[in-house]
C-alpha cells in the first residue's frame, strides 16, 4: 500500500470496525416492561448507517487525488466520528442506565473506532488544507 493511501486505509478499517461492532458485541435485546425497545436498541440500529457512510467516504479517499476533495472528505469522516461517539450519549439516542447491561460493552468498542476516526478525519482535513493553501500561494506568484 502506498504511503498516501495508508491513512485512508486505516480509516476504512476503522469504519468497517464501526459497522460490525453492533453485530460482534450485541447490545441489549430486552424491552422495557414489554412495551418497546430500550434506548440502546435505537442507538445500535442507527450506528451502522453512520458507519456505511464512513466506509464509502474512506473508499473514495483511497482513490481520489484532489486535495480539495480529500479536505472535504476528511471533514465528513470527522463528522462521522463525532456522530458515532454522540449517538450513545444521554443527549443523543442514549443507552441503558445500568452499567451491567450489554450495551455498555458495545459502547466501549464503538469508542475504540469513533475516536481514532475523528482524529484521522481532522488530520486528513488539516494536511490537505495546508497543501491546498500552498498550491494557491504558488499560483498567485
Task: List beta partners, residue 31.
Answer: 37
Residue 46 in any domain: the answer is yes
Residue 29 in any domain: the answer is no
Q: In terms of residue numbers, what domain contains 127? A: 13-21+36-140
**pLDDT for the residue 131:** 63
**pLDDT for the residue 30:** 63
Residue 135 in any domain: the answer is yes
**pLDDT for the residue 76:** 95
∠ CA 99-101-106, rounded to 5°? 95
Rounded CA gap, 98 and 62, in Å?
Answer: 41
128 alpha-carbon distance from chain centroid: 19
Q: Which residues contact 80 (CB under 8 A, 6 or more apart)?
A: 15, 50, 51, 53, 54, 57, 117, 121
pLDDT along the chain (141 residues), means of 10: 81 94 79 66 85 95 90 94 88 74 81 94 87 53 50
Residue 6 in any domain: the answer is no
Lookup result for grid cell 480539495: 68
**pLDDT for the residue 123:** 92
| pTM for this prediction | 0.81
Considering its fold, how many domains does the chain have in total?
1
Residue 4 in any domain: the answer is no
Residue 107 in any domain: the answer is yes
Residue 5 in any domain: the answer is no
Rounded CA gap, 56 and 54, in Å?
Answer: 5
Rounded CA gap, 65 and 61, in Å?
Answer: 8
Residue 74 in any domain: the answer is yes
Amino acid at each position: 500500500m502506498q504511503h498516501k493511501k495508508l491513512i485512508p486505509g486505516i480509516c476504512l478499517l476503522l469504519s468497517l470496525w464501526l459497522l460490525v461492532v453492533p453485530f460482534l458485541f450485541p447490545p441489549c435485546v430486552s424491552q422495557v416492561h414489554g412495551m418497546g425497545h430500550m434506548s440502546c436498541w435505537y442507538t445500535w440500529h442507527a450506528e451502522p448507517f453512520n458507519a456505511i457512510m464512513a466506509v464509502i467516504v474512506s473508499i473514495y479517499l483511497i482513490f481520489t487525488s484532489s486535495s480539495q476533495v480529500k479536505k472535504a472528505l476528511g471533514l465528513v469522516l470527522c463528522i462521522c466520528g463525532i456522530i458515532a461517539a454522540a449517538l450513545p450519549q444521554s443527549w443523543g439516542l442514549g443507552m441503558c442506565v445500568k452499567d451491567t447491561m450489554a450495551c455498555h460493552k458495545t459502547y466501549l468498542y464503538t469508542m475504540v473506532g469513533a475516536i481514532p476516526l475523528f482524529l484521522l478525519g481532522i488530520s486528513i482535513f488539516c494536511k490537505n488544507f495546508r497543501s491546498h493553501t500552498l498550491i494557491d500561494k504558488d499560483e498567485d506568484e
